[in-house]
């Protein structure tokens, strides 16, 4: 059985594609959301979900939440003497969700679609996949959370729509995606986010606000971890209360003594102002990356529990000049979308019509050295080849040259990330190619990156002077992909590797424009010449969307010229 799972920072949920619709599966307590919390006791007893969260106040040192923030890092936590990785902890949550499905349907799920923040890097994705495996689930696909939410939103209201923005603020991460739906294709145009921003940070801001209002002597009696756990839990309760009231009471009980403070909406808004400001950047980045004007967005779709905060909604209304759309259930949309994806993979009824296209969530490139105006070398500079938010599948080539005299080989280290210095990005692999010894700069090396929808990055390095080629396939999402699968994917990608300049329809259009150019003089010739330059410039960009627009423009111009032909 294939299930869809939203493995959230704060809460997780599982859903199935059943009877032509996605359906959430309740946990043992009858709730659709299971807190992503784990608690252990000496002797190995384990609690997951609500029960673990309950132990947070009494056993903070043996209980952990928000471990999704650590996934893909080497951090571990030790609970009641047992050391666990973030993957182990995530696997415990996944196993508990699988238990719930088994209890509800009588069948144990064996496969899953798991959602991840669009902004998760390659290591975080791999670790999530491993968590699934530890839990005994074959991870058929990882899909981006906002894409899943968009599927749930789009399916609720079938039909084509203008681009809309999915604003997903969860417990620990923030994601923005711009999505379009057209003739059954759900197309993610751009994604951006901040994987260190969520409801947890608003809790921390509230703790900072109220701590000075509480009697210090009482708080000082608590050990540091217990103090933090108590205050954070109380802050979360207060924050939720502030979602429906202008004022709320913050209260914690220390040694039987209740400590309270009143928090007003205004006070909270002031305390959270810095965090609210950070919501803007990813929105701007996403809009900029896909060249979509904020006015052409049809909806602002809210996803993630933390979008319930009025301070966030107010900020959004100000940012977009209209009210956000709250028609999808902010806590359920992602799991429902994962179930729709599960339905798509298993050929679920009523889903034949839908396809999803996504974008590369981060920039991929190589490590290079550059020489400044004084002739000094600067090493470790990132040279992007596939830029973030390029539609996938995509293939792009860049030309590099040797840096030293008589260099015998060139090594390209492959990185993913946005920083200018490679050391701040994630290294994916390395490829070395021999070059003929020549003076510096005289040997050209072509590096082609081809990236497909399931995360296979295929790298070809060619030295045109000798014809030497080296190839490396980096499998992003599926460690276990077999050589045969890789060969098949590569075959599929072969046609992508044709430079757009050499594609038949572009060659034909250039020939047609050149004929038109030859047939005119003066101003008309200049116009055609410029249009031709623009078109070849667009081809160099190797971006199918830009090329399609440029091709349309040039064809229109040539058609117009033909329409005015004297014959
Ligand atoms: P998620 O990761 O999407 O499950 O979102 C969980 C976050 O949403 C947590 O930080 C919760 O505190 C927050 N949250 C859930 N419900 C509310 C609410 N009614 N008001 C404010 N925050 C909420």
CA distance 190 to 178: 5
pLDDT greater than 50 at residue 477: no
CA 482, 487, 492, 496 dihedral sign is positive
What is the pLDDT confidence band of residue 172, given thresholds at 50, 70 and 90?
Answer: confident
Give the start-end residues of each E strand in 265-309.
300-303
| Active-site choice (87, 145, 367, 387) | 145
Average the pLDDT over 362-372 and give the result.
87
Q: What is the pLDDT of residue 64?
A: 96
Residue tagged 């608590």 (tokens)? 222
Active site residue 452: no
Average the pLDDT over 419-446 and give the result.
92
The atom number, within ligand 1, closest to the CA of 304 reads 3
Residue tagged 């003594």 (tokens)? 257
CA distance 26 to 12: 11
Active site residue 168: yes
Higher pLDDT: 13 or 472? It is 13
Bridge-partner residues for 16, per DSSP? Answer: 23
pLDDT digits (tens, 9 = 90+) for 433-464: 999 999 999 999 999 998 876 567 889 999 99
Question: 95, 135 in Cβ contact below 8 A?
Answer: yes
The atom number, within ligand 1, closest to the CA of 33 reads 4
pTM for the predicted model, two decimal places: 0.77
Q: What is the CATH number of domain 2-197+279-359?
A: 3.30.420.40
Q: What is the pLDDT of residue 486?
A: 59
Q: What is the pLDDT of residue 71?
A: 93
pLDDT digits (tens, 9 = 90+) for 199-219: 999 999 999 999 999 999 999
What separation in Å is there between the alpha carbon of 308 and the centre of ligand 1? Answer: 7
Average the pLDDT over 139-154 and give the result.
87
What separation in Å is there between the alpha carbon of 350 and the centre of ligand 1? Answer: 32
Q: What is the pLDDT of residue 479?
A: 47
CA distance 205 to 90: 26
pLDDT greater than 70 at residue 159: no
Question: Which of 112, 154, 100 has the alpha carbon at shortest distance from 338?
Answer: 112
Lowest mean pLDDT of 78-92, 169-183, 505-519, name the range: 169-183
CA distance 495 to 301: 37
What is the pLDDT confidence band of residue 196, given thresholds at 50, 70 and 90?
Answer: confident
Active site residue 423: no
CA distance 529 to 345: 48
- Chain centroid, CA 151 distance in Å: 15
pLDDT digits (tens, 9 = 90+) for 313-355: 999 999 999 999 888 899 999 999 999 999 988 887 767 666 7
Question: DSSP of 338-378, one letter per residue?
Answer: HHHHHHHHTT-TT-TT-EEE-B-SS-EEEEEEEE-TTS-EE
What is the average pLDDT score of the chain? Answer: 89
Tell me the CATH number of domain 199-274, given options 3.40.50.300, 3.90.640.10, 3.10.129.10, 3.40.640.10: 3.90.640.10
Question: Which of 215, 248, 216 has the alpha carbon at shortest distance from 234?
Answer: 248
- How many Cβ atoms sit within 10 Å of the Cβ of residue 521? 9
Give the residue, by CA position, lying nearest to ligand 1 atom 4. Answer: 11
pLDDT greater than 60 at residue 511: yes
Q: What would the two tokens of residue 516 be?
A: 């038109």
Active site residue 62: no
What separation in Å is there between the alpha carbon of 118 and the centre of ligand 1? Answer: 19
What separation in Å is there between the alpha carbon of 141 and the centre of ligand 1? Answer: 26
For the purposes of burial, counting CB atoms within 10 Å of the CB of 42, is it exposed (0-12), middle (13-18) or buried (19 or more)?
A: exposed
Question: 335, 5 in Cβ contact below 8 A?
Answer: yes
Higher pLDDT: 395 or 452? It is 395
Output DSSP code: residue 221. T
Question: Cα separations (Å) of 103 from 2, 7, 97, 100, 217?
Answer: 15, 19, 10, 5, 49
What is the pLDDT confidence band of residue 501, given thresholds at 50, 70 and 90?
Answer: confident
* Architecture in CATH of 364-497: Sandwich (2.60)
CA distance 131 to 152: 25
What is the pLDDT confidence band of residue 478, given thresholds at 50, 70 and 90?
Answer: very low
- Dihedral-angle region of residue 164 (phi above 0 means left; psi in -120 to 50 means alpha; beta otherwise): beta
Average the pLDDT over 238-243 and give the result.
97
pLDDT digits (tens, 9 = 90+) for 77-128: 999 999 999 999 999 999 999 999 999 999 999 999 999 987 777 778 889 9
CA distance 178 to 147: 9
Ranked by mean pLDDT, the top range of 177-186, 279-288, 535-544 is 279-288
What separation in Å is there between the alpha carbon of 90 and the centre of ligand 1? Answer: 19
As for ligand 1, residues whose beta carbon falls within 6 Å of it are: 8-11, 170-171, 198-200, 236, 239-240, 243, 304-306, 308-309, 331
Give the residue, by CA position, lying nearest to ligand 1 atom 15. Answer: 305
Question: Which of 84, 37, 81, 83 has the alpha carbon at shortest distance from 63?
Answer: 37
CA distance 298 to 283: 15
């Amino acid at each position: 059985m294939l299930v869809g799972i939203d493995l959230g920072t704060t809460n997780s949920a599982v859903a199935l594609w059943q009877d032509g619709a996605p359906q959430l599966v309740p946990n043992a307590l009858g709730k659709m959301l299971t807190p992503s919390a784990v608690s252990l006791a000496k002797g190995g007893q384990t609690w997951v979900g609500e029960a673990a969260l309950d132990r947070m106040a009494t056993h903070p040192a043996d209980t952990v939440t928000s471990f999704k923030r650590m996934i893909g890092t080497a951090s571990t936590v030790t609970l009641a003497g047992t050391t666990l990785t973030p993957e182990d902890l995530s696997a415990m949550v996944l196993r508990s969700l699988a238990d719930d499905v088994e209890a509800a349907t009588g069948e144990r799920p064996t496969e899953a679609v798991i959602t991840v923040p669009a902004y998760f890097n390659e290591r975080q994705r791999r670790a999530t996949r491993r968590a699934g495996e530890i839990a005994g689930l074959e991870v058929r696909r990882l899909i981006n959370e906002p894409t899943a939410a968009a599927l749930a939103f789009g399916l609720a209201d079938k039909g084509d729509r203008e681009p809309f923005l999915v604003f997903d603020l969860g417990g620990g991460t923030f994601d923005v995606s711009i999505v379009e739906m057209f003739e059954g294709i759900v197309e993610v145009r751009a994604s951006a986010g901040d994987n260190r921003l969520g409801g947890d940070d608003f809790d921390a801001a509230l703790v900072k606000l109220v701590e000075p209002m509480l009697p210090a002597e009482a708080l000082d009696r608590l050990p540091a971890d217990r103090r933090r756990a108590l205050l954070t839990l109380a802050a979360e309760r207060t924050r939720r209360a502030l979602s429906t009231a202008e004022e709320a009471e913050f209260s914690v009980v220390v040694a039987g003594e209740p400590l309270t403070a009143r928090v007003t909406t205004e006070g909270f808004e002031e305390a959270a102002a810095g965090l609210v400001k950070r919501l803007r950047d990813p929105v701007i980045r996403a809009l900029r990356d896909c060249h979509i004007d904020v006015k052409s967005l049809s909806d602002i779709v809210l996803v993630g529990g933390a979008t319930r905060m009025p301070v966030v909604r107010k900020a959004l209304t100000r940012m977009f000049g209209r009210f956000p759309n709250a028609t999808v259930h902010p806590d359920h949309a992602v799991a429902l979308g994962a179930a729709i994806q599960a339905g798509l993979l298993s050929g679920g009824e009523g889903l034949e019509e839908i396809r999803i296209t996504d974008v590369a969530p981060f920039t991929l490139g190589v490590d290079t050295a550059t020489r400044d105006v004084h002739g000094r070398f600067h090493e470790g500079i990132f040279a992007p080849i596939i830029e973030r938010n390029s539609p996938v599948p995509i293939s792009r080539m860049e030309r590099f040259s040797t840096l030293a005299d008589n260099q015998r080989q060139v090594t390209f280290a492959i990185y993913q990330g946005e920083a200018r210095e490679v050391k701040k990005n994630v290294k994916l692999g390395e490829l070395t190619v021999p070059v003929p010894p020549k003076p510096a700069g005289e040997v050209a090396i072509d590096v082609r990156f081809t990236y497909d929808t399931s995360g296979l990055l295929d790298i070809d390095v060619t030295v045109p002077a000798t014809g030497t080629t080296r190839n490396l396939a980096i499998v992003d999402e599926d460690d276990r992909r077999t050589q045969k699968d890789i060969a098949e994917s590569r075959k599929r990608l072969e046609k992508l590797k044709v430079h757009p300049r050499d594609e038949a329809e572009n060659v034909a259009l250039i020939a047609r424009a050149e004929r038109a150019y030859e047939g005119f003089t003066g101003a008309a010739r200049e116009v055609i010449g410029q249009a031709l330059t623009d078109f070849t410039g667009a081809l160099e960009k190797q971006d199918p969307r830009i090329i399609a627009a440029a091709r349309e423009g040039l064809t229109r111009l040539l058609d117009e010229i033909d329409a005015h032909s004297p014959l």
